[in-house]
Structure 1
């Protein structure tokens, strides 16, 4: 049973509905590797996961998590670079992506994702997304800079062509406004 009240787990559910063995996916913010591992398990050994982060600690934490799960192999490419540079590394369509915004849990809370890099990363990801593909964005407005980034991401998503994309916004009504929320963007089919 899915935990509908945990934003990141809800994002995992949305991607598990569409990702299949052999697909390609992106983790735009690898952090501690939870999303990277989930994607690697969904796409299987024939698939490909591209995981981005700017912090060495995130790459090491993710590498350890993948090794412990037995999926540190050619299906996963760990990239020490900002997600805004996604198109430097991927030149083919992808079926799914997840961005878990904010800061690295257990890391330096002053190093955060920011609208100036997140917005171009989202735009590039949507260009790469195959028909029927999904991008999940987990938003964390509760830290300094988080609310501004949330507003910028939501503004971008609200302006997407409704004939090309479906956008779903999920927030828990009985939680404070600083609680995490989820945006699901699905590219229309052919």
Structure 2
């Protein structure tokens, strides 16, 4: 996997490494294959906690196996539920939340994240976020519904009060129009 500016996931992880801390709480809103959960578990340390959500059993099992192989399964609570249910399981405050939107890599492409639940999940993440905490989103637009989801997330992020949140958007200019979009939101008041 690339670790440069061409990797949207790497960019988001770099931003979140500035807010996720040892002993803290983080959320992987889309467990997928478990790589973001593993990243957050390493940052959380033995005293921290990561909550990892996915609706697909395949994703939960894949994440569990990766965490067990790395010896970090005890730091992560796996939740088979949609990320829009985040506040039912996580009380906050949280240091970092990561979203990797779209479909499960190597999985059934008919199961995709959708605009309305994602916006509800983003709103929950922002309510749970501690001052100085960050939400990072990697938004894939090359599948049916991806552009609409990106537009909904952008509209929500752009509408946030600038005195309470700092919001950035990153696009790779010399790639296809369907290249992933990165949005990072930081709650003010460090």
Counterpart-to-counterpart distance in 2, 1:96 and 1:116: 21
Q: What is aligned with 1:116?
A: 116
Deviation, structure 1 residue 17: 1.9
Query: Following superposition of structure 1 onto structure 2, how do residues 161-180 of structure 1 map, counting pairs within 5 Å?
Result: 161-180=161-180
Matched, 1:11 2:12: yes
Q: What is aligned with 1:147?
A: 147
Counterpart-to-counterpart distance in 2, 1:125 and 1:158: 16
Q: What is aligned with 1:31?
A: 32
Residues 23 and 47, structure 1, Cα contact 8 Å, conserved in 2: yes
Counterpart-to-counterpart distance in 2, 1:90 and 1:16: 20
CA RMSD of aligned residues (A): 1.1
Q: What is aligned with 1:67?
A: 68
TM value normalised by structure 2 = 0.97
TM value normalised by structure 1 = 0.97
Deviation, structure 1 residue 92: 2.2
Counterpart-to-counterpart distance in 1, 2:50 and 2:85: 15
Unmatched 5+ stretches in structure 2: none
Residues 2 and 13, structure 1, Cα contact 8 Å, conserved in 2: no
Counterpart-to-counterpart distance in 1, 2:152 and 2:86: 19
Number of matched pairs: 189
Q: What is aligned with 2:94?
A: 94
Deviation, structure 1 residue 176: 1.4
Deviation, structure 1 residue 170: 0.1
Query: Following superposition of structure 1 onto structure 2, how do residues 44-63 of structure 1 map, counting pairs within 5 Å?
Result: 44-63=45-64
